[in-house]
Amino acid sequence: MSILCGKNILLGISAGIAAYKTASLVRLFIKSGATVKVVMTPSSKDFITPLTLSTLSKNPVYSSFVNEEDDNAVWNNHVDLGLWADLFIIAPATANTLSKMANGVCDNLLLATYLSAKCPVYFAPTMDLDMYKHPSTLQSFEKLKAFGNIMIPATSGELASGLVGEGRMAEPEDILTFIENDILDALALRGKKVLITAGPTHEAIDPVRFIGNHSSGKMGFEIAKASANLGAEVFLVTGPTHQKVTHSLINLIPVTSAEEMYQACHTYFNDMDIAILSAAVADFKPKEVSTEKIKKSASTLRLELEKTKDILQSLGKIKTNQYLVGFALETNNELENAKDKLKRKHLNLIVLNSLNDKGAGFKSDTNKVTFIDADDNVMAFPLKSKADVAKDLLDKIINEIHA
Ligand code: CTP
Protein backbone atom coordinates (compact mmCIF):
# COMPACT_ATOMS: atom_id res chain seq x y z
CA MET A 1 0.00 0.00 0.00
CA SER A 2 1.32 3.42 -0.92
CA ILE A 3 1.64 6.18 1.65
CA LEU A 4 -0.74 8.11 -0.66
CA CYS A 5 -3.55 5.61 -0.02
CA GLY A 6 -6.60 7.41 1.37
CA LYS A 7 -5.21 10.87 0.62
CA ASN A 8 -7.15 13.56 -1.27
CA ILE A 9 -4.94 14.76 -4.09
CA LEU A 10 -5.75 17.91 -6.03
CA LEU A 11 -3.92 18.06 -9.34
CA GLY A 12 -3.50 21.52 -10.87
CA ILE A 13 -2.75 21.52 -14.59
CA SER A 14 -1.40 24.56 -16.42
CA ALA A 15 -0.85 25.02 -20.16
CA GLY A 16 2.31 23.17 -21.09
CA ILE A 17 2.71 20.37 -23.61
CA ALA A 18 3.59 18.04 -20.69
CA ALA A 19 -0.09 18.28 -19.69
CA TYR A 20 -0.67 15.22 -21.88
CA LYS A 21 1.31 13.21 -19.30
CA THR A 22 -1.15 14.07 -16.53
CA ALA A 23 -3.46 11.29 -17.75
CA SER A 24 -0.80 8.82 -16.54
CA LEU A 25 -0.23 10.81 -13.38
CA VAL A 26 -3.93 10.68 -12.46
CA ARG A 27 -3.94 6.92 -13.07
CA LEU A 28 -0.88 6.43 -10.86
CA PHE A 29 -2.47 8.42 -8.02
CA ILE A 30 -5.70 6.44 -8.34
CA LYS A 31 -3.77 3.15 -8.40
CA SER A 32 -1.97 4.16 -5.21
CA GLY A 33 -5.36 4.45 -3.48
CA ALA A 34 -5.73 8.25 -3.49
CA THR A 35 -8.85 10.21 -4.40
CA VAL A 36 -8.08 12.68 -7.18
CA LYS A 37 -9.70 15.93 -8.27
CA VAL A 38 -8.36 18.07 -11.09
CA VAL A 39 -8.33 21.84 -11.51
CA MET A 40 -7.12 23.17 -14.88
CA THR A 41 -6.23 26.60 -16.25
CA PRO A 42 -8.47 27.41 -19.24
CA SER A 43 -5.58 27.22 -21.77
CA SER A 44 -4.43 23.81 -20.53
CA LYS A 45 -7.57 22.33 -22.14
CA ASP A 46 -5.77 22.82 -25.48
CA PHE A 47 -3.32 20.10 -24.39
CA ILE A 48 -5.56 17.54 -22.67
CA THR A 49 -9.33 17.28 -22.46
CA PRO A 50 -11.27 17.60 -19.21
CA LEU A 51 -13.21 14.49 -20.32
CA THR A 52 -10.04 12.36 -20.25
CA LEU A 53 -9.18 13.62 -16.80
CA SER A 54 -12.67 13.31 -15.33
CA THR A 55 -12.96 9.77 -16.70
CA LEU A 56 -9.63 8.76 -15.15
CA SER A 57 -10.13 10.61 -11.86
CA LYS A 58 -13.81 9.60 -11.59
CA ASN A 59 -14.53 13.18 -10.52
CA PRO A 60 -15.68 16.36 -12.25
CA VAL A 61 -12.83 18.55 -13.52
CA TYR A 62 -12.83 22.23 -12.56
CA SER A 63 -11.53 25.06 -14.72
CA SER A 64 -13.72 28.10 -14.14
CA PHE A 65 -15.47 29.77 -11.24
CA VAL A 66 -18.88 28.81 -12.62
CA ASN A 67 -19.99 25.84 -14.70
CA GLU A 68 -20.86 27.58 -17.98
CA GLU A 69 -22.77 24.60 -19.43
CA ASP A 70 -25.06 24.65 -16.43
CA ASP A 71 -28.17 26.89 -16.80
CA ASN A 72 -28.37 27.35 -13.05
CA ALA A 73 -24.70 28.36 -12.97
CA VAL A 74 -23.08 26.74 -9.91
CA TRP A 75 -20.11 28.40 -8.30
CA ASN A 76 -17.01 26.19 -8.08
CA ASN A 77 -15.79 26.98 -4.63
CA HIS A 78 -12.01 27.32 -4.69
CA VAL A 79 -11.87 27.53 -0.89
CA ASP A 80 -13.64 24.17 -0.52
CA LEU A 81 -11.34 22.62 -3.13
CA GLY A 82 -8.27 23.94 -1.34
CA LEU A 83 -9.50 22.68 2.02
CA TRP A 84 -10.51 19.30 0.59
CA ALA A 85 -6.96 18.58 -0.59
CA ASP A 86 -4.39 16.77 1.55
CA LEU A 87 -1.86 17.52 -1.20
CA PHE A 88 -1.95 20.00 -4.08
CA ILE A 89 0.29 19.12 -7.01
CA ILE A 90 0.71 21.59 -9.83
CA ALA A 91 1.99 19.65 -12.82
CA PRO A 92 2.87 20.83 -15.34
CA ALA A 93 3.65 24.20 -13.79
CA THR A 94 4.43 26.71 -16.54
CA ALA A 95 6.59 29.82 -16.14
CA ASN A 96 3.43 31.91 -16.37
CA THR A 97 1.54 30.00 -13.63
CA LEU A 98 4.63 29.86 -11.39
CA SER A 99 5.15 33.59 -11.72
CA LYS A 100 1.51 34.26 -10.86
CA MET A 101 1.69 31.90 -7.87
CA ALA A 102 4.85 33.64 -6.65
CA ASN A 103 3.21 37.06 -6.93
CA GLY A 104 -0.28 36.39 -5.64
CA VAL A 105 -2.01 36.86 -8.99
CA CYS A 106 -5.42 35.27 -8.89
CA ASP A 107 -6.99 35.38 -12.34
CA ASN A 108 -8.17 31.78 -12.69
CA LEU A 109 -9.60 28.99 -10.54
CA LEU A 110 -6.28 27.14 -10.21
CA LEU A 111 -4.58 30.23 -8.78
CA ALA A 112 -7.48 31.07 -6.46
CA THR A 113 -7.36 27.49 -5.18
CA TYR A 114 -3.58 27.74 -4.70
CA LEU A 115 -4.00 30.85 -2.58
CA SER A 116 -6.69 29.11 -0.50
CA ALA A 117 -4.92 25.76 0.00
CA LYS A 118 -3.55 24.99 3.44
CA CYS A 119 -2.02 21.64 2.50
CA PRO A 120 1.52 20.94 1.20
CA VAL A 121 1.91 22.21 -2.39
CA TYR A 122 4.23 20.55 -4.90
CA PHE A 123 5.04 22.03 -8.29
CA ALA A 124 6.64 20.30 -11.28
CA PRO A 125 7.94 22.95 -13.71
CA THR A 126 7.91 22.53 -17.44
CA MET A 127 9.29 24.99 -19.98
CA ASP A 128 11.93 25.52 -22.60
CA LEU A 129 15.56 25.49 -21.44
CA ASP A 130 16.16 29.24 -21.69
CA MET A 131 12.90 30.02 -19.89
CA TYR A 132 13.92 27.55 -17.15
CA LYS A 133 17.18 29.43 -16.59
CA HIS A 134 15.74 32.95 -16.85
CA PRO A 135 16.35 35.03 -13.68
CA SER A 136 12.65 35.76 -13.47
CA THR A 137 11.82 32.01 -13.44
CA LEU A 138 14.58 31.30 -10.94
CA GLN A 139 13.13 34.03 -8.76
CA SER A 140 9.70 32.37 -8.93
CA PHE A 141 11.25 29.03 -7.85
CA GLU A 142 13.01 30.66 -4.90
CA LYS A 143 9.95 32.62 -3.83
CA LEU A 144 7.71 29.57 -3.96
CA LYS A 145 10.22 27.45 -2.04
CA ALA A 146 10.41 30.22 0.56
CA PHE A 147 6.60 29.96 0.88
CA GLY A 148 7.15 26.30 1.79
CA ASN A 149 6.09 24.89 -1.59
CA ILE A 150 8.08 21.90 -2.77
CA MET A 151 9.68 21.86 -6.20
CA ILE A 152 9.88 18.64 -8.20
CA PRO A 153 12.78 19.63 -10.47
CA ALA A 154 12.50 19.35 -14.23
CA THR A 155 14.82 16.93 -15.99
CA SER A 156 17.07 17.29 -19.02
CA GLY A 157 16.21 15.96 -22.43
CA GLU A 158 14.62 16.78 -25.72
CA LEU A 159 12.09 19.59 -25.38
CA ALA A 160 8.98 20.35 -27.46
CA SER A 161 10.94 23.11 -29.23
CA GLY A 162 13.40 20.52 -30.50
CA LEU A 163 16.12 21.96 -28.30
CA VAL A 164 17.83 19.73 -25.77
CA GLY A 165 18.30 20.82 -22.18
CA GLU A 166 16.72 21.26 -18.75
CA GLY A 167 12.99 21.92 -18.64
CA ARG A 168 11.18 18.61 -19.17
CA MET A 169 8.56 17.95 -16.54
CA ALA A 170 9.57 15.00 -14.35
CA GLU A 171 7.97 11.74 -15.57
CA PRO A 172 4.70 10.78 -13.83
CA GLU A 173 6.33 7.75 -12.10
CA ASP A 174 9.10 10.02 -10.80
CA ILE A 175 6.60 12.62 -9.58
CA LEU A 176 4.77 9.87 -7.66
CA THR A 177 8.00 8.52 -6.13
CA PHE A 178 9.21 12.03 -5.28
CA ILE A 179 6.00 12.83 -3.39
CA GLU A 180 5.90 9.44 -1.63
CA ASN A 181 9.50 9.82 -0.47
CA ASP A 182 8.99 13.42 0.57
CA ILE A 183 6.05 12.41 2.78
CA LEU A 184 7.90 9.40 4.17
CA ASP A 185 11.02 11.46 4.97
CA ALA A 186 8.98 13.73 7.20
CA LEU A 187 7.48 10.85 9.19
CA ALA A 188 8.51 10.21 12.78
CA LEU A 189 9.54 6.57 12.29
CA ARG A 190 11.23 6.96 8.89
CA GLY A 191 14.37 4.83 8.82
CA LYS A 192 13.33 2.82 11.90
CA LYS A 193 12.75 -0.93 11.88
CA VAL A 194 9.99 -2.34 14.03
CA LEU A 195 9.40 -5.98 14.98
CA ILE A 196 5.81 -6.79 15.93
CA THR A 197 4.27 -10.08 17.03
CA ALA A 198 0.55 -10.66 16.62
CA GLY A 199 -2.17 -13.26 16.94
CA PRO A 200 -2.25 -16.58 18.74
CA THR A 201 0.09 -19.52 18.32
CA HIS A 202 -1.12 -23.04 17.60
CA GLU A 203 0.63 -25.89 19.38
CA ALA A 204 0.11 -29.18 17.59
CA ILE A 205 -1.32 -32.18 19.45
CA ASP A 206 -1.49 -34.38 16.35
CA PRO A 207 -1.74 -33.66 12.59
CA VAL A 208 -5.27 -32.24 12.91
CA ARG A 209 -5.55 -30.80 16.43
CA PHE A 210 -3.85 -28.02 18.30
CA ILE A 211 -3.91 -25.99 21.51
CA GLY A 212 -4.67 -22.33 20.76
CA ASN A 213 -6.47 -19.28 22.07
CA HIS A 214 -9.01 -16.70 20.95
CA SER A 215 -6.57 -13.93 19.97
CA SER A 216 -7.74 -12.30 16.72
CA GLY A 217 -4.45 -10.54 15.97
CA LYS A 218 -6.29 -7.21 15.52
CA MET A 219 -4.18 -5.27 18.03
CA GLY A 220 -0.87 -6.35 16.49
CA PHE A 221 -2.05 -5.67 12.94
CA GLU A 222 -3.24 -2.19 13.92
CA ILE A 223 0.17 -1.49 15.50
CA ALA A 224 1.84 -2.71 12.30
CA LYS A 225 -0.31 -0.43 10.12
CA ALA A 226 0.20 2.58 12.39
CA SER A 227 3.99 2.00 12.44
CA ALA A 228 4.15 1.72 8.64
CA ASN A 229 2.00 4.84 8.26
CA LEU A 230 4.64 6.62 10.34
CA GLY A 231 7.32 5.49 7.89
CA ALA A 232 8.78 2.50 9.74
CA GLU A 233 9.79 -0.72 8.02
CA VAL A 234 7.75 -3.35 9.81
CA PHE A 235 8.46 -7.04 10.37
CA LEU A 236 5.13 -8.50 11.41
CA VAL A 237 5.53 -12.00 12.82
CA THR A 238 2.03 -13.35 13.05
CA GLY A 239 0.40 -16.53 14.25
CA PRO A 240 -2.66 -17.87 12.39
CA THR A 241 -5.26 -15.08 12.03
CA HIS A 242 -7.88 -13.83 9.58
CA GLN A 243 -6.34 -10.34 9.53
CA LYS A 244 -5.20 -8.94 6.20
CA VAL A 245 -2.73 -6.20 5.43
CA THR A 246 -1.03 -4.95 2.29
CA HIS A 247 1.42 -2.13 2.82
CA SER A 248 4.69 -1.63 1.00
CA LEU A 249 6.48 -1.15 4.34
CA ILE A 250 5.07 -4.24 6.08
CA ASN A 251 6.91 -7.55 5.75
CA LEU A 252 4.57 -10.32 6.79
CA ILE A 253 6.19 -13.35 8.45
CA PRO A 254 3.53 -15.99 9.08
CA VAL A 255 4.27 -18.62 11.74
CA THR A 256 2.20 -21.25 13.50
CA SER A 257 3.81 -22.31 16.76
CA ALA A 258 5.54 -20.50 19.65
CA GLU A 259 8.82 -22.11 18.60
CA GLU A 260 8.48 -20.73 15.05
CA MET A 261 7.59 -17.29 16.44
CA TYR A 262 10.63 -17.47 18.74
CA GLN A 263 12.95 -18.37 15.82
CA ALA A 264 11.52 -15.63 13.57
CA CYS A 265 11.84 -12.96 16.28
CA HIS A 266 15.44 -13.93 16.95
CA THR A 267 16.21 -13.79 13.22
CA TYR A 268 15.16 -10.12 13.02
CA PHE A 269 15.64 -8.67 16.51
CA ASN A 270 19.34 -7.63 16.32
CA ASP A 271 18.59 -5.36 13.40
CA MET A 272 15.54 -3.68 14.99
CA ASP A 273 15.07 -0.31 16.67
CA ILE A 274 11.76 -1.17 18.30
CA ALA A 275 10.07 -4.49 19.18
CA ILE A 276 6.42 -4.67 20.24
CA LEU A 277 5.31 -8.13 21.31
CA SER A 278 1.54 -8.22 21.32
CA ALA A 279 1.03 -11.89 20.38
CA ALA A 280 -0.89 -14.17 22.70
CA VAL A 281 1.77 -16.87 22.68
CA ALA A 282 0.70 -20.26 24.07
CA ASP A 283 2.45 -20.73 27.40
CA PHE A 284 2.40 -24.53 27.12
CA LYS A 285 2.64 -27.05 24.30
CA PRO A 286 2.21 -30.83 24.15
CA LYS A 287 5.45 -32.55 25.11
CA GLU A 288 4.94 -35.19 22.43
CA VAL A 289 3.25 -34.46 19.11
CA SER A 290 1.55 -37.55 17.74
CA THR A 291 2.49 -38.17 14.12
CA GLU A 292 -0.87 -39.84 13.54
CA LYS A 293 -4.36 -38.66 14.38
CA ILE A 294 -5.15 -39.70 17.94
CA LYS A 295 -8.11 -42.13 17.95
CA LYS A 296 -10.93 -41.63 20.41
CA SER A 297 -10.88 -45.31 21.44
CA ALA A 298 -9.81 -44.57 25.04
CA SER A 299 -12.37 -42.92 27.36
CA THR A 300 -9.87 -40.33 28.62
CA LEU A 301 -6.84 -38.68 27.09
CA ARG A 302 -3.95 -37.32 29.10
CA LEU A 303 -1.68 -34.78 27.45
CA GLU A 304 1.60 -33.86 29.04
CA LEU A 305 2.42 -30.20 28.42
CA GLU A 306 5.70 -28.37 28.65
CA LYS A 307 6.45 -24.66 28.73
CA THR A 308 7.06 -22.81 25.51
CA LYS A 309 9.99 -20.41 25.31
CA ASP A 310 9.16 -16.92 26.57
CA ILE A 311 10.00 -14.85 23.50
CA LEU A 312 9.66 -11.48 25.23
CA GLN A 313 11.90 -12.49 28.10
CA SER A 314 14.51 -13.93 25.74
CA LEU A 315 14.63 -10.65 23.77
CA GLY A 316 14.82 -8.64 27.02
CA LYS A 317 17.97 -10.62 27.89
CA ILE A 318 19.80 -9.86 24.65
CA LYS A 319 18.54 -6.36 23.90
CA THR A 320 21.07 -3.60 23.31
CA ASN A 321 19.51 -0.36 22.04
CA GLN A 322 16.12 -1.74 21.08
CA TYR A 323 13.03 -0.17 22.64
CA LEU A 324 11.16 -3.27 23.89
CA VAL A 325 7.42 -3.30 24.56
CA GLY A 326 5.40 -6.15 26.06
CA PHE A 327 1.71 -6.68 26.73
CA ALA A 328 0.19 -7.98 29.94
CA LEU A 329 -3.30 -9.42 30.18
CA GLU A 330 -4.21 -9.53 33.84
CA THR A 331 -7.24 -10.39 35.90
CA ASN A 332 -6.12 -9.35 39.39
CA ASN A 333 -3.47 -7.10 40.99
CA GLU A 334 -3.16 -5.72 37.49
CA LEU A 335 -0.74 -2.82 38.08
CA GLU A 336 1.56 -4.74 40.40
CA ASN A 337 1.70 -7.75 38.08
CA ALA A 338 2.37 -5.58 35.04
CA LYS A 339 5.14 -3.62 36.81
CA ASP A 340 6.70 -6.88 37.93
CA LYS A 341 6.61 -8.20 34.32
CA LEU A 342 8.20 -4.97 33.04
CA LYS A 343 11.17 -5.43 35.38
CA ARG A 344 11.47 -9.19 35.05
CA LYS A 345 11.52 -9.07 31.25
CA HIS A 346 13.75 -5.93 30.99
CA LEU A 347 11.12 -3.94 29.08
CA ASN A 348 10.99 -0.24 28.29
CA LEU A 349 7.20 -0.24 28.32
CA ILE A 350 4.35 -2.56 29.16
CA VAL A 351 0.79 -2.28 27.88
CA LEU A 352 -1.67 -3.52 30.46
CA ASN A 353 -5.09 -4.87 29.46
CA SER A 354 -7.38 -5.88 32.24
CA LEU A 355 -9.90 -8.62 31.55
CA ASN A 356 -12.10 -6.81 34.10
CA ASP A 357 -12.62 -3.95 31.61
CA LYS A 358 -15.61 -4.21 29.29
CA GLY A 359 -14.69 -3.90 25.61
CA ALA A 360 -11.06 -4.86 26.23
CA GLY A 361 -9.59 -8.16 25.17
CA PHE A 362 -9.19 -10.67 22.44
CA LYS A 363 -11.93 -10.46 19.85
CA SER A 364 -13.29 -6.93 20.20
CA ASP A 365 -12.41 -3.96 17.99
CA THR A 366 -11.78 -1.89 21.09
CA ASN A 367 -9.28 -1.98 23.91
CA LYS A 368 -8.73 -0.24 27.22
CA VAL A 369 -5.10 -0.02 28.14
CA THR A 370 -2.67 1.43 30.65
CA PHE A 371 0.94 2.14 29.71
CA ILE A 372 3.64 1.70 32.33
CA ASP A 373 7.16 2.77 31.44
CA ALA A 374 10.53 1.93 32.96
CA ASP A 375 10.44 5.17 35.02
CA ASP A 376 7.21 3.94 36.63
CA ASN A 377 5.02 6.51 34.82
CA VAL A 378 1.49 5.16 34.55
CA MET A 379 -0.83 6.43 31.76
CA ALA A 380 -4.39 5.08 31.79
CA PHE A 381 -6.57 5.52 28.68
CA PRO A 382 -10.32 5.27 28.17
CA LEU A 383 -11.89 2.62 25.94
CA LYS A 384 -10.76 3.26 22.34
CA SER A 385 -10.66 1.52 18.98
CA LYS A 386 -7.62 -0.71 18.58
CA ALA A 387 -6.47 1.59 15.75
CA ASP A 388 -6.45 4.53 18.18
CA VAL A 389 -4.73 2.47 20.89
CA ALA A 390 -2.02 1.68 18.32
CA LYS A 391 -1.58 5.41 17.59
CA ASP A 392 -1.35 6.24 21.33
CA LEU A 393 1.24 3.50 21.78
CA LEU A 394 3.40 4.79 18.92
CA ASP A 395 3.09 8.39 20.17
CA LYS A 396 4.41 7.22 23.53
CA ILE A 397 7.27 5.26 21.94
CA ILE A 398 8.23 8.17 19.65
CA ASN A 399 8.28 10.53 22.64
CA GLU A 400 10.50 8.13 24.55
CA ILE A 401 12.98 7.39 21.77
CA HIS A 402 13.34 11.09 20.93
CA ALA A 403 13.62 12.13 24.61
N1 CTP B 1 5.04 -13.61 25.55
C2 CTP B 1 6.03 -14.08 24.73
N3 CTP B 1 6.32 -15.42 24.72
C4 CTP B 1 5.64 -16.28 25.48
C5 CTP B 1 4.62 -15.79 26.33
C6 CTP B 1 4.36 -14.44 26.32
O7 CTP B 1 6.66 -13.31 24.02
N8 CTP B 1 5.93 -17.57 25.44
C9 CTP B 1 4.81 -12.16 25.59
C10 CTP B 1 3.48 -11.72 25.04
O11 CTP B 1 3.53 -11.44 23.66
C12 CTP B 1 3.20 -10.47 25.86
C13 CTP B 1 3.80 -10.78 27.20
O14 CTP B 1 4.79 -11.77 26.94
O15 CTP B 1 3.87 -9.34 25.34
C16 CTP B 1 2.75 -11.22 28.15
O17 CTP B 1 2.93 -12.46 28.54
P18 CTP B 1 2.13 -13.14 29.73
O19 CTP B 1 1.81 -14.51 29.25
O20 CTP B 1 1.00 -12.31 30.19
O21 CTP B 1 3.20 -13.03 30.82
P22 CTP B 1 3.93 -14.06 31.67
O23 CTP B 1 5.17 -13.38 32.10
O24 CTP B 1 4.08 -15.32 30.92
O25 CTP B 1 3.09 -14.20 32.97
P26 CTP B 1 1.78 -14.96 33.34
O27 CTP B 1 1.35 -15.79 32.18
O28 CTP B 1 2.18 -15.73 34.51
O29 CTP B 1 0.81 -13.84 33.63
- Ligand 1 neighbour 328 (Cβ under 6 A): yes
- Ligand 1 neighbour 285 (Cβ under 6 A): no
Interval 338-392: pLDDT, tens = 999 999 999 999 999 877 777 766 667 899 999 999 999 999 999 999 999 999 9
Interval 222-252: pLDDT, tens = 999 999 999 999 999 999 999 999 888 999 9
Distance CA 378, CA 385 (A): 20
Where b means 16+ CB within 10 Å and e means fewer, 215-244 reads: bbbbbbbbbbbbbbbbbbbbbbbbbbbebe
Interval 6-37: pLDDT, tens = 999 999 999 999 999 999 999 999 999 999 99
Measured in Å, residue 137 CA sits from the centre of ligand 1 at 62
φ, ψ at 310 (rounded to 5°):
-85, 105
188 has pLDDT over 90: yes
Q: What angle do CA 32, 35, 57 make, to 5 degrees?
A: 95
166 has pLDDT over 80: yes
Instruction: Give the active site residues.
Output: 213
Measured in Å, residue 342 CA sits from the centre of ligand 1 at 11
Domains in the chain: ranges and CATH: 8-185 (3.40.50.1950), 193-290+304-401 (3.40.50.10300)
Distance CA 308, CA 302 (A): 19
Interval 81-133: pLDDT, tens = 999 999 999 999 999 999 999 999 999 999 999 999 999 999 999 999 999 99
Q: Are 201 and 239 in contact (CB under 8 A)?
A: yes
SS3 113: helix
pLDDT, mean of residues 305-310: 98
Interval 202-219: pLDDT, tens = 999 999 999 999 999 999
Element (H, E) at 240: none
Q: Which letter does DSSP use for residue 295 in this model?
A: P
61 has pLDDT over 90: yes
Q: How confident is the model at residue 332 (pLDDT cuts 50, 70, 90)?
A: confident
Distance CA 392, CA 310 (A): 26
- Ligand 1 neighbour 326 (Cβ under 6 A): yes
SS3 158: strand
Measured in Å, residue 317 CA sits from the centre of ligand 1 at 15
φ, ψ at 136 (rounded to 5°):
-65, -40
**From residue 219, how far is each of 242, 339, 361, 389, 390 by CA, in Å?**
13, 21, 9, 8, 7
